């Protein structure tokens, strides 16, 4: 009898985990190169007119950056250390956008020295800093747009009111900078395509207004936020359908000469990651099985806090399932992963693993809270 696609995938993943357990101590995170490439190809097929700038904040492991560099992506960096890391791996400065709208003066100077001249801003004081320390820098104005339904809202902290966009772009030009266009971000893990459609319509109006005032804009940065599945049976996540709708809106609203870029992070790196942990202790409390793992919220489950993410916990052990709780290894009660999981009875040494955890997990893990180091990353 033919196995279902999901069952074949599960068997492949678990066989991979078993092989790695013979070579490595847990916790470890497997990053699958074939999935990185698959996500890149999915993006390029669904949005062929959009140049991806991988947001390395999602996962800045050097092998991931090198993989995407070979595939031809550009890169979104938010700091000078991120910029230096990408440049040191041989990426041209022309393939980098400094996509942080608030930069220190020393950072702008460093960006100039490293010849990364493409950057974002969202306020007038920022323009004066850029003009002073990086004349002729190329700039995009980031506007505030709706983040309705997104897991992480990003317009709370960044983005100019869109009715100020043309004024700011004209100010940029008057200061000797090169205004290229408009940037927006609809929030992370964005399942509501209407946010993109509305943002594109607002951006189109800005382009029209700018043209009337002798500003010929060229670039639209649609940000990131493209969603992935964290659960096998999760509904409401269909990137291809979302991309088709976005593509239609682009064609409807913009001239063919307009260039589109994006800043995918989670979409590129998330599905490639598998976190493998083991049970280091067990007890029975609050009328349920309680299992303590060797990784927690201060480590590679940090996305549960900083990314508001939920994960699907899986085990290599089969059998009848019972109400269970999972906690990390630290002495902090806050280090609790779930108090409502249906799991087989587990024993010390049993594996608990999570798929699609390659983004905003190890990236935000602490180095060694309570002396517990985050998981080792293994490229496979």
Give the catalytic positions in this structure: 331
DSSP 329: S
Record the tokens describing residue 379, joined without a space: 């490229």
Record the tokens describing residue 141, joined without a space: 């104005």
Q: How is 225-281 classified by DSSP, letter by letter? A: -----SSTT--S--HHHHHHHHHHHHHHHS-TT-EEEE--SHHHHGGGEEEEEEEEE
- 137 Cβ contact partners less than 8 Å away, ≥ 6 residues apart: 108, 111, 112, 117, 118, 119, 130, 131, 177, 178
The partner residues of 289 in beta bridges, in order of sequence, read 284, 324
> Computed from CA positions of residues 72, 78, 81, 84, in that sequence, does the dihedral angle turn out positive or negative?
positive
Q: How is 172-207 classified by DSSP, letter by letter? A: HHHTT-EEEEEE----EEE--HHHHHHHHHHHHHHH
Q: What span, in angstroms and rounded, lies between the C-alpha atoms of 292 and 277?
A: 10
Q: How far is CA 251 from CA 43, 49, 145, 365, in A?
A: 17, 10, 20, 41
DSSP 326: E
Q: What span, in angstroms and rounded, lies between the C-alpha atoms of 271 and 229?
A: 8
Q: What span, in angstroms and rounded, lies between the C-alpha atoms of 237 and 356?
A: 14
Q: What span, in angstroms and rounded, lies between the C-alpha atoms of 267 and 189?
A: 9
Record the tokens describing residue 365, joined without a space: 């893990």
The closest of 50, 41, 95, 72 to 258, measured between CA atoms, is 50
Record the tokens describing residue 9, joined without a space: 């995938």
DSSP, collapsed to helix, strand or coil, labels residue 160 as strand
Q: Quick check: 239 and 225 in contact, CB under 8 A?
A: no
> Computed from CA positions of residues 265, 270, 273, 277, in that sequence, does the dihedral angle turn out positive or negative?
positive
């Amino acid at each position: 009898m033919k196995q279902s696609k999901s069952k074949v995938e599960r068997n492949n993943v678990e066989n991979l985990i078993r092989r790695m357990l013979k070579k490595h101590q847990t916790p470890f995170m497997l990053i699958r190169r074939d999935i990185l490439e698959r996500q890149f190809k999915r993006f390029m097929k669904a949005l062929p007119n959009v140049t991806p700038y991988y947001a390395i904040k999602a996962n800045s492991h050097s092998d991931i950056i090198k993989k995407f560099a070979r595939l031809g992506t550009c890169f979104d960096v938010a700091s000078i250390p991120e910029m230096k890391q990408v440049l040191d791996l041989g990426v041209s400065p022309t393939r980098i956008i400094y996509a942080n709208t608030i930069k220190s003066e020393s950072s702008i100077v460093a960006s100039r020295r490293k010849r990364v001249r493409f950057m974002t801003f969202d306020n007038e004081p920022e323009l004066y800093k850029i003009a002073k320390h990086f004349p002729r820098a190329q700039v995009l104005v980031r506007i505030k747009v709706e983040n309705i339904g997104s897991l992480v809202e990003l317009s709370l902290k960044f983005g100019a009111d869109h009715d100020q966009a043309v004024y700011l772009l004209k100010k940029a030009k008057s200061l000797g900078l090169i205004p290229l266009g408009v940037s927006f971000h609809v929030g992370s893990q964005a399942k509501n395509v209407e946010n993109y459609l509305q943002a594109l319509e607002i951006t189109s109006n800005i382009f029209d207004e700018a043209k009337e005032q002798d500003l010929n804009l060229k670039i639209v940065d649609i940000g990131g936020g493209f969603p992935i599945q964290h659960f096998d049976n999760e509904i409401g996540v269909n990137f291809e359908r979302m991309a088709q709708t976005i593509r239609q809106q682009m064609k409807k609203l913009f001239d063919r000469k307009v260039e589109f870029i994006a800043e995918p992070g989670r979409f590129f790196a998330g599905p490639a990651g598998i976190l493998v942990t083991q049970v280091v202790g067990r007890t029975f409390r609050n009328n349920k099985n309680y299992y303590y793992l060797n990784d927690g919220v201060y480590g590679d489950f940090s996305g549960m806090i900083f990314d508001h993410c939920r994960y699907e916990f899986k085990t290599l052990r089969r059998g009848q399932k019972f109400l269970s709780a999972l906690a990390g290894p630290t002495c902090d009660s806050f280090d609790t992963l779930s108090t409502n999981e249906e799991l087989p009875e587990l024993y010390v040494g049993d594996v608990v693993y999570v798929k699609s955890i390659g983004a905003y997990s190890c990236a935000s893990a602490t180095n060694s809270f309570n002396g517990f180091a985050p998981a080792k990353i293994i490229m496979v």
